[in-house]
Structure 1
Amino acid sequence: MGVRPTPRALEMAGHVQTALAQVNAAIAPKEIDITTIDRTIVLDIGGGYDALIMPRLMEEVTKCAPGLRLLVSNTRGADLLNELKYGETELALDFQPSNAEGIRCDLLSRDGAVVVARHSHPALNSGLTKDLYLKLPHAKLVWNRSSTASAVVFELDRLGLKPPVVASLPTFTALGGVVASSNLIATVPAIVARILQSWFRLEQYPLPFRLPPLALYQLWHARLDDNAGHRWLRQTIKNICAGPAEAKPLKWIAR
């Protein structure tokens, strides 16, 4: 015959189970009505990905969370992790993951790179070779003054490929406009190229060499794991990056 709990132990076990249930209920994520959220979230979306994400994100915010305000900046670099740590930035997109203490990292997409050039580029009638790629003048994307490498530039540098760069621009829209009105070419993620082609009169060319897929991550501090508005925002951005790139025409851009 084994040891059996006493009536007092059984009574105490019931109280303990009740207390544990109350604690779990108190700390469990609360499902709230997203339409009632009234707050501002600071985002860091560099590398031109604002052109991909923000139009569709604002559609979802307007429809589902009208009280949510988004403040978008572009810092990237050594200060980004500190800004996430101290709450100055609440969600950041970057092409490099982070294993810093307290920082969460979620892969959003992996995409190949392509070359874009203006329609009927005089040097590309016979296609794009590696030698021609390294000879033609380029426009490149920069995140900011203190961090000059975008995902594409980072990979090109890693391979020792250094095409001549004559224009460094902070956004994909600026880059697309420059390429469309000059003989410069640019290397961009394929998903971004599709958007630029819908905005500008550009042609797309495959890279004449192998480049690893370009990753995009979202980063945030662990304290925001269970914040309802933040969770909704992270999932919405993930859905946008997982779906097809649908760009709306920019009527103010002359063709």
Structure 2
Amino acid sequence: MKNADLNLLVHFDALMATRSVSRAAEQMGISQPAMSAALSRLRRIFNDPLFIREAGAWGPTAKARELNLAFRPLLDRWRLESQPKSEFDPSTTRRVISIYASDYLQYAVMPKIVSALSEHAPGLVVRVVPAKLFHGLNMVETNHVELVLGHFPQPAPSLRARFLFEERSVCIVRTGHPCLKQRWGLDTFLAYPHADLAAHTRNFGQQIDDTLAAMDRTRQIGATLASYLACPFVVGSSNLIATLPFSVADGFKKISGTTLLEVPLALPLFNVSVYWHERYQKDQAHAWVRQLIGEILSR
């Protein structure tokens, strides 16, 4: 048997980052058939499909996520050691990096990012631009910001991406909600009005509605909110039901007076990536920040 081609690890990393054969091919500068062939070889090597279709989007299997955790530190170290050396020194740099992120991601990841930058690059200042409905990746394409954090299924070919982490979703209701006296399931989930989240691009809420539509079911929207962090408090003072990323729901359950429930739908994990424009690909300070964010959030 021939030794496996270690270059396939780079192909695998691109597939994990983009969740798309065509976009992974664009990111690596190869043809789509070549990337498809690489995926076929990876599937044979690991005896696993690695990526499967879930709720209208490609997602990694449990085996792919396991491999990503194992291989990512090796690839990160390789990129760090093999990139051209320059005079760039994070400890002395003076620069502002603008990042576009929803309040969910500001809550979930910015404490870690700012803490690491304060330690390693005290002169590098982060400027966070709050998410607005339907802006999303347009902000980085038009150079209003340098990085975007979030979940975007269809980024433009001019953008690059790096997968950061996945998180499951949960439902929240106020403690004392009448649904807690009923058997929890899809019918109970749909029997009450919902708080919908229009923050960022509404990809999160759209995923729920698309899954229900495939079952010929719909939910009633009682309120549309622009803030993930406000949602637990709205739910805590009403009979609304909401579906949120676990970190937000768990972090606010005590002070908002809410209870967590499993989502009675087969929702894929909510995946978050960092996106940037090709214009910054060879900017070494920018690359250092991307690398730092990737290392922190993939742990």
TM value normalised by structure 2: 0.62
- Counterpart code for 1:154: Q
Q: Residues of 2 paired with 1:231 and 1:199: CA distance?
A: 39
Q: What RMSD over aligned residues (CA atoms) do the two structures have, in Å? A: 2.6
CA contact (8 A) 1:92 1:219 kept: yes
Q: Residues of 1 paired with 2:295 and 2:235: CA distance?
A: 30
2:283 is the counterpart of 1:221 = no
Note the alpha carbon deviations across 1:2-61, whole angstroms, 9 max, x for none: xxxxxxxxxxxxxxxxxxxxxxxxx93536321222121111112622221122222222
2:240 is the counterpart of 1:184 = yes
Q: How many residues align?
A: 212
Distance apart, 1:93 and its partner CA? 1.9
2:213 is the counterpart of 1:157 = no
Matches within 5 A, 1:66-215: 66-73=122-129, 74-75=131-132, 77=134, 80-143=136-199, 147=201, 149-151=202-204, 153-159=205-211, 160=213, 161-197=217-253, 200-215=256-271
CA contact (8 A) 2:171 2:244 kept: yes
CA contact (8 A) 1:97 1:217 kept: no
Q: Residues of 1 paired with 2:174 and 2:85: CA distance?
A: 50
With over 3 angstroms needed to count, the CA separation of the structure-2 counterparts of 1:207 and 1:85, relative to structure 1, is closer
- Counterpart code for 1:69: V
Which is bigger in relative contact order (C-alpha 8 A, separation at least 6)? 1
CA contact (8 A) 1:115 1:186 kept: yes
Distance apart, 1:186 and its partner CA? 0.8
Note the alpha carbon deviations across 1:216-245, whole angstroms, 9 max, x for none: 2211012322333322332333344334xx
- Counterpart code for 2:203: S
Q: Secondary structure at the match of 1:34?
A: coil
Aligned to 2:41: none
Q: Which has the larger radius of gyration?
A: 1
Q: Residues of 1 paired with 2:221 and 2:168: CA distance?
A: 21
- Counterpart code for 1:38: R
For structure 2, list consecutive stretches of 5 or more residues without a partner in the other structure: 1-82
- Counterpart code for 1:58: V
CA contact (8 A) 2:195 2:221 kept: yes
CA contact (8 A) 1:103 1:220 kept: yes
Q: Residues of 2 paired with 1:44 and 1:91: CA distance?
A: 6
Aligned to 1:19: none
Percent identity between the aligned chains? Answer: 28
Distance apart, 1:88 and its partner CA? 1.5
Distance apart, 1:141 and its partner CA? 1.6
CA contact (8 A) 1:193 1:204 kept: yes
Q: Residues of 1 paired with 2:248 and 2:87: CA distance?
A: 34
Note the alpha carbon deviations across 1:196-226, whole angstroms, 9 max, x for none: 3365332211111211222222110123223
CA contact (8 A) 1:140 1:186 kept: yes
Greater per-residue helix proportion: 2
Q: Residues of 1 paired with 2:209 and 2:107: CA distance?
A: 25
